[in-house]
Amino acid sequence: MKKSHILLLGALLLLPGCGRAEADTRTIIRIGHNQSTNHPTHIALEAFETFIERQLGEQYNVEVFPSELLGSQNEMVQLTQTGAINFCVASNSLLETFSKNYSLFNLPYLFSSSEAYHAAMDDKAITGPIFESTKQAGFEAVTWLDAGTRNFYTVDRPIETPADLKGLKIRTQQSPTNVEMMRLLGGSATPMGFGEVYTALQSKVIDGAENNEMALTDNGHGDVCKYYSYDMHQMIPDILIGNLAFLEGLPAEERAVFEQGFALINTVQREEWSKAVESAKEKAQQQQGVIFNYPDTAPFEQACQPLHESMLQSNPDLQPVYEAIQRHNQQFSTS
Ligand code: GCU
């Protein structure tokens, strides 16, 4: 963890309730994430803060820390594990290093449409075995957040086919599935934390990255990368995880209020998400001069197929969940 983060975290943990005239006996609930305060995830967490403080304000003071203030996603997951903070938002990608079940949602071309993706993520028979699989690691997932579709974007040339990735250094998330995906597609994977990507693009350490449209505007990547290619390789959810001891220590009636709060986060974030993506795309086109192109996705999908087989071979317990996802895919391809 960066020294500045350690100092800030130390100050935050040591000074609960500072600034209030009387001693504040409320328990502070700290939630960290890596997005800006304009982002749908932050807006949804603020709605949670208001809701919990309205319902249980005598017991709890909720504090939301945006923009990697508490560290990178990897660091925040570790802080949530130990209970130094109560919750954080982590990309599903990172969680596969804590439980191999999470590899499922990292598979490229797992969902055939955003309708099927949403239906599958709302299906507790699908998410249950995955969300509970990190209990031994000290945390569990309490809800999921939309992070759209991930696509390649590059500094100076569009990606029309997998062959265009050859020789390019592309930032990937720090997950074995994503590194393997890049290998299968022919590019050179450069894993790094999200907060390092802008500087890496600017200084030409990498030639491009892959993410949803909001990374272009909210994180400024569109200032450097002028080609965004809709190869649609992944729909990777973000996951709100909570410290297990904290969650299990809540009295039943308080836990029920928290569960309503988690559902609220999901609803607000998804409503905000669709609006945010539309305006990010418009801003990227009009103000940053980003060109959007729409390659044939079939060759990309074909190249990634071995990942589905290897994931199911290494984790056969996930076969029924994988099949349940295929049923959602079929339902939306015929309706
Ligand atoms: C998306 C996602 C983040 C993630 C980031 C990344 O923005 O919402 O949770 O950290 O991608 O590529 O690392």
**Distance in Å, CA 39 to ligand 1 centroid:** 12
Closest ligand 1 atom to 214 CA: 7
Per DSSP, what are the bridge partners of residue 89?
A: 240
Cα dist from 306 to 19, 107, 187, whole Å? 56, 10, 16
Q: Tell me the per-residue pLDDT of 196-248, one tens digit each, with 9 for 90 and over.
A: 999 999 999 999 999 999 999 999 999 999 999 999 999 999 999 999 999 99
Closest C-alpha to 190, from 213, 164, 165: 165
Closest ligand 1 atom to 33 CA: 9
Look at the block and give the residue holding tokens 């040339």.
157
Residues 6+ positions from 43 with CB-CB distance below 8 Å: 268, 269, 272
The whole-model pTM stands at 0.94
Residues of the chain falling short of pLDDT 70: 1-21, 334-335
Task: Tell me which residue has its CA closest to atom 8 in ligand 1.
Answer: 147
| pLDDT of amino acid 18 | 47
**Distance in Å, CA 285 to ligand 1 centroid:** 21
Q: Tell me the per-residue pLDDT of 307-323, one tens digit each, with 9 for 90 and over.
A: 999 999 999 999 999 99
Task: Tell me which residue has its CA closest to atom 13 in ligand 1.
Answer: 194
Ligand 1 pocket mutation, candidates 91, 174, 218, 270, criterion most atoms within 8 A of CB = 91
| pLDDT of amino acid 22 | 77
Closest ligand 1 atom to 41 CA: 8
149 CB less than 6 Å from ligand 1? no
C-alpha triplet 196, 62, 77: angle, nearest 5°: 35
